[in-house]
Amino acid sequence: MAISIVQSANGFGRAASAPLVQLSISAIGWRETYLVQAAFVAASVPLLAALFRRAARYPVAGEPAVLAAEPAGASLPRANWTLSEAMRTPHFWLLFAVYLFTGLGSFLVSLHQLAFAVDIGFDRLYAAGVLGIGSFLAIAGTIFTGSLSDYIGREWSAILAYGISIIGVVCALLIANPDQHWLLWLHACFFGLTWGARGPAITAKTADLFPGGRLGTILGVITIGSGIGSAAGAWAAGWIFDLSGSYRLAFSLSIAAYLCGCAAFWVLRRPPVR
């Protein structure tokens, strides 16, 4: 649950940024808006880094400095996986694929939602507001699916999130004209609800499969898949629109990518063997 609460902040940031960015673009243009965003990030990173350094310098009061040793025979020794050992298992590459397909499926849609809605005929600020409100649901969705994974398993929690995302994309594909406001709302709510919702399950599954002191390194390398998929999805959707004049093929590919991610996650049920 702790991981899901932290990652739910992604939904708040996305929800707040959608209408604010559109207002900025309308006022000063998209190039200048990019510069404003860059300045905001440049100012925020040092402040956030300082908070982490302060937290490390001042540990939580009352927290024991050293964990009490477990009595002999109390539990089986935990495997201490290294990055090289993890990379020699199919599970590592399945997790990499999960991140890649999730990023691909998400960014084939997310960066182009507003342009898709405007292209159909919706007002820019109205569409940005609807999508922003839908993104707020990611806060609850991420916490819910992350907590649910502790009870029904990581796989079922992730599959549920994939399914809801797919419903959201299907709702977008069904929009034919700007009179179908309800479909835009359904798309925003279903797609927004599960934005980032798979993150806690993937992180927890990685910890389940590869426990040990190198978990951070293993998770960091696996996360590269998300960057590759996200970049490829954002670029591919724009390229498809330039060629076809429509985002519908890109959104259909998003569904295919989500299904591939779902299948890869399901195969992760059995633990890896050294």
Give just the sign of the alpha carbon dihedral 7, 201, 137, 15.
positive
Q: Which of 120, 115, 134 is nearest to 30 (CA)?
A: 115
- Compute the mean pLDDT over every residue in the chain, rounded to the nearest whole number: 84
pTM of the prediction? 0.77
Across the range 108-125, mean pLDDT stands at 92
| Distances, alpha carbon 100 to alpha carbons 8, 227, 252, in Å | 20, 7, 17
For residue 236, pLDDT beyond 70: yes
| Distances, alpha carbon 272 to alpha carbons 158, 204, 209, 226, in Å | 19, 15, 7, 22
Comparing 149 with 264, the larger pLDDT belongs to 264
pLDDT (tens digit per residue) in 137-189 = 888 888 888 788 888 888 899 999 999 999 999 999 999 999 999 999 999 99
For residue 116, pLDDT beyond 60: yes
Report the greatest alpha carbon distance in the chain. Answer: 69
Comparing 55 with 79, the larger pLDDT belongs to 79
What pLDDT is stored for residue 263 in this prediction? Answer: 94
Across the range 221-232, mean pLDDT stands at 94
Q: Scan for tokens 């709702």, then name that residue.
A: 171
What pLDDT is stored for residue 173 in this prediction? Answer: 96
Output DSSP code: residue 8. T
Q: Which of 74, 98, 78 is nearest to 209 (CA)?
A: 78
Report the range of poorest mean pLDDT among 32-41, 121-130, 134-143, 211-220. 134-143
| Distances, alpha carbon 163 to alpha carbons 158, 169, 260, in Å | 9, 10, 12
**Could you give the CA distance from residue 205 to residue 99 in angstroms, rounded to a whole number?**
12
For residue 14, pLDDT beyond 80: no
What pLDDT is stored for residue 195 in this prediction? Answer: 85
What pLDDT is stored for residue 178 in this prediction? Answer: 93
pLDDT (tens digit per residue) in 31-73 = 888 898 889 888 888 887 887 766 555 555 555 544 444 444 4
Question: Quick check: 80 and 206 in contact, CB under 8 A?
Answer: no
Q: Which of 164, 157, 165 is nearest to 205 (CA)?
A: 157
Output DSSP code: residue 108. T
Q: Domains in the chain, ordered, with CATH? A: 82-267 (1.20.1250.20)
* Relative orientation angle of helices 199-209 and 90-107, to the nearest 10 degrees: 170
